[in-house]
Amino acid sequence: MDGSLFITFEGPEGGGKTTQISLLQTYLESTGLPVLVTRQPGGDPVGIELRKIMLDLGRANISIRAELLLMMADRSQSVDTVIQPFLTQGGVVICDRYSDSSVAYQGGGRGIDIGWINRLNSYATNGLSPDITFLLDIDPLIGLTRQQDRNRMEELDLAFHERVRTTFLALAEQHPNRIYTIDASHSVETVHSEIRTLVDQLIKVC
- Whole-angstrom Cα distance, residue 62 to residue 170? 27
Q: Residue 132: what pLDDT?
A: 97
In angstroms, rounded to a whole number, what is the distance separating the alpha carbons of residues 98 and 77? 12
Lowest mean pLDDT among 53-67, 132-146, 174-188, 189-203: 53-67
Identity of the residue numbered 143? G
Confidence of residue 27 (pLDDT cuts 50, 70, 90): very high
Angle between helices 64-78 and 45-55 (to 10 degrees): 160
- d(Cα 82, Cα 47) in Å, to the nearest integer? 11
3-class DSSP state of 71 = helix
Check residue 39 and give its pLDDT.
96
State residue 19's pLDDT score: 96
Of the pLDDT bands very low, low, confident and very high (cuts 50, 70, 90), residue 181 is very high
CA dist., res. 195 & res. 10, Å (int): 13
For residue 2, pLDDT beyond 70: no
pLDDT band for position 53 (cuts 50, 70, 90): confident
Tens of pLDDT along 55-98? Answer: 775 666 889 999 999 999 999 999 999 999 999 999 999 999 99
Average pLDDT on 179-200 reads 96
Using CA atoms, how far apart are residues 69 and 71, in angstroms rounded to an integer?
5
* pLDDT at site 144: 75
Q: What integer is the mean pLDDT of 35-54? A: 92
Q: What is the pLDDT of residue 57?
A: 56
Q: Which pLDDT belongs to residue 143?
A: 78
Average model confidence (pLDDT) for the chain? 91
155-189 b/e (C-beta count within 10 Å ≥ 16 → b): ebeeebbbbbbebbbebbeeeeebbbbbebeeeee
Q: What is the pLDDT of residue 3?
A: 76
Domain around 97: 5-205
Q: What is the 3-state secondary structure (H, E, C) of 92-121?
A: EEEEECCHHHHHHHHHHHCCCCHHHHHHHH
Q: Where are the beta strands (DSSP E) in 24-114?
A: 35-39, 92-96
Helices (H) and strands (E) in the chain, counts: 9, 5
Please state the domain count of the chain: 1
Q: What is the CATH number of the domain that holds 195?
A: 3.40.50.300
What mean pLDDT is predicted for residues 119-143? 95
Q: In Å, what is the CA distance from 202 to each residue of 78, 175, 183?
A: 24, 16, 20
59-92 CB burial, b ≥16 within 10 A, e <16 = eeeeeeeebbebbbbbbbbbbeebbbebbeeebb
CA pair distance 102, 98, nearest whole angstrom: 7
108 pLDDT above the threshold of 90:
yes
Per-state percent for the chain, helix, strand, coil, to nearest 5 = 55, 15, 30
